[in-house]
Structure formats: C-alpha cells, structure tokens
Structure 1
Amino acid sequence: MDSSFAELKKHIRSIPDWPKKGVVFRDISTLMADKLIFRKVIDVFVYRYLQAEIDAVVAIDARGFIIGAPLAYLLNTSFVPVRKKDKLPGDTIGRAYSLEYGEAEVEIHTDALQKGERVLLVDDLIATGGTMLAAAQLIEQLGAKIFEATAIIDLPDIGGSAKLRSAGVSVHTFCEFEGD
C-alpha cells in the first residue's frame, strides 16, 4: 500500500449492509466526484506504471473501467474490457467465480490479447479476489502475462489479495480498509 495515497481514504464512502446485510460497500463514486482527487488517483496509477513496458490494460466491469480506460490512454497501451457474462459480442471465453455476496461469471474476447503481451489488470477494489483471479486466468488462457494486478482499495481481511499472490499474481493497491 502506498502511504501517500492513504489520505484519499476519506473520499471513499462506506455503505453498510449493501448490497446485502453484513457487507460494507466501499464506494469510489465520492472519490471520483472531486475532480482534483480523481485526477490524483489516475496520476498515481500512471506514475507507478509509466515505465513498466505494459502492452495492455485489462480492466474489470464496471468500476475497473473508470480507472482502466484513462490509464490505458495515458500509458499509450490498448484497453481490454473483462465484462460480465453475455455483455460482449463475438467469440469469448469465460470463467465463473465466487464473490463476497454471490456468484458471477466474467468473459473476455478470444482475440483481445496476443501471446506474450504484458498486461496490467485493473479494478477498483480487491475483496475476495474472485473477480480478479477469474480475469487473471482468462488472461493467462489467452497466452498473455500479468505484469501486476492493481486496485485503489484492498480489503485484506477478506483475503483476496493473499489469494491472488498465492496464485502467483503480483498485487499492488493504494489503500486498504480493515474489517468487513
């Protein structure tokens, strides 16, 4: 975690019991509502990855797109969406996963990445790690290599970042929230 980013935690709204009882949702819409803070968030990502020789930014539906698209543009890479099941036209591959409040499946186009490409995997938050791990498996299935998985927020008590690391994925987040 980057301590210079910790100050931005105050711009992330915590919503208890959403989307179901017992879950505390970490909402980045309040962070994005402040144009200077949102710009700082994107700038911090760009600064970290500017010299990383990344070929593509792969972002996860939907909040990952908010970070991933401007990041890909500023890093001069391609942008590849990983979407929820049945949202991409054309040939796709998919992977089911569990998350903190249910189950889901994500997909990627079969021609989205080339073998050997270096990929930055982006989302807003890592909780159970299920979504990122599923996306990482899809990336690897296409023959690309994950440079790093990154997010604004880590919820380390839920264990997702540890699950990703144990699967061999390098992980970087900029702030974390303890507890549920």
Structure 2
Amino acid sequence: MDLKSVIREIPDFPQPGITFKDITTLLSNPDALRHAIDLLEAACRELQPDYVVGIESRGFIFGMPLADRLNVGFAPVRKPGKLPGPTHRAEYELEYGSDCLELHQDAFAPGSRVMVVDDLIATGGTAIATAELITKTGCELAGFGFVVELSDLGGRKKLPQVPVISLVQY
C-alpha cells in the first residue's frame, strides 16, 4: 500500500505557501493505519528497544501500538505540567520563540534502549528535545521512527547519529 495515497495535502495551511500533510485520512483508514504500524514494527524491531517514547500527541497514536507489538514499555513525552511525577525538562526552539517537553524521571529502567516515535519530522526540534530527555534518564537512544518526513526542512541532519526511520518522504 502506498501511504502517500492516503495522506491528504491541504494547501495554504496553517499559512499561505505551506502544504500541510494531514495524517487524519491515514488514521481513519484501518488498512492504512495497520500497514503504517506494520512497517514501523518491521523497521524498529531490529533496533531492539526496551521502551518506545511517543511525543505528544500524535506520537502516542503510533507509539502505543508499536510498543505493544514489540512487547516493550511505553512512555509519553508531554508538554509542561501534564505529567504528575518528577520530570526532566528540555526546551527547544520554534520559528517564533521556544517550547518545552517533559518526561518522567523514572520512565525507564537505567541503561535501557529507548526508541522515539512521532508522526512527522520537519525541523527536528521536538525530536532533538526528546533525545535530550532520554539522555537525562541515563538511557541509550536506540533510534527514531516517523511516519512522515519533510526532507527539505532538514530535521534528520540535526538528529543524533542513531538510526532514523521514516515511512514516507516529501
């Protein structure tokens, strides 16, 4: 199945000149969703993670079933103030300003291999911040998995030197 065929493109969203890659059409198609998770599972299995981290919020959609299929734990990376326990915090730059992500300090057993999953990589800011959070826990970053990669924005080049998997490139 060609995943690009089920990803809707919306011109001039969120601003003129941007063509938004809308994965809600992939999510609403059970065959496409299953296929995307099958592809992630096949590619990520060889990385042998002990945990999968999903980045808020669409990373949860792909990260949870991937963790289930790999028979490993799952941990969410969230916006500030959403996790109830003690957290590590990492700030990252946006086009206009900055933002922050948090991860529970006790999300993983020490020394674990952790895989980061999200729906899309663009400039790489959230993925880099998530990698920083994993490092703060004393764990090893096993790799990254994305459904969509916006190659022209160069996010992959900014990531740590670990395997980076993307199912669809634009």
TM-score range for the pair, normalised by the shorter chain length: over 0.9
Q: Deviating runs (4+, > 4 A) in structure 1?
A: none
Instruction: Name the structure 1 match of 2:44.
Output: 49
Q: Distance in 1 between matches of 2:60 and 2:103?
A: 14
Tell me, in whole angstroms, the C-alpha distance in 2 between the residues paired with 1:171 and 1:104: 23
TM-score, structure 2 as length reference: 0.93
The 1:66–1:98 alpha-carbon spacing in structure 2 relative to 1, beyond 3 Å, is same
Structure 2: gaps of 5 or more residues:
none
Listed as ranges, the gaps of 5+ residues in structure 1 are none
Matches within 5 A, 1:76-87: 76-87=71-82
**How many angstroms does 1:47 deviate by?**
1.7
Whether the 8 Å CA contact 1:99–1:129 is kept in 2: the answer is no
Q: What SS does the aligned partner of 2:47 have? A: coil
Cα deviations by residue, 1:87-109 (Å, 9 ceiling, x for unpaired) = 11111111111235653211000
CA contact (8 A) 1:149 1:171 kept: yes
Report the identity percentage. 45
Q: How many residues of Structure 1 are paired with residues of Structure 2 in the alignment? A: 170
What is the letter of the counterpart of residue 99 of structure 1?
Answer: L
Q: Distance in 2 between matches of 1:100 and 1:175?
A: 24
Offset from partner CA, 1:22-45 (integer Å, 9 cap, x none): 433211110011111111111111
CA RMSD of superposed structures (Å): 1.6
Report the Cα distance in structure 1 between the residues aligned to 2:100 and 2:19, rounded to whole angstroms: 22
TM-score, length basis structure 1: 0.88
Counterpart position of 1:175: 168
CA distance in 1, matches of 2:42, 2:18: 32
8 Å Cα contact 1:100-1:127 kept in structure 2: no
The residue type paired with residue 147 of structure 1 is A
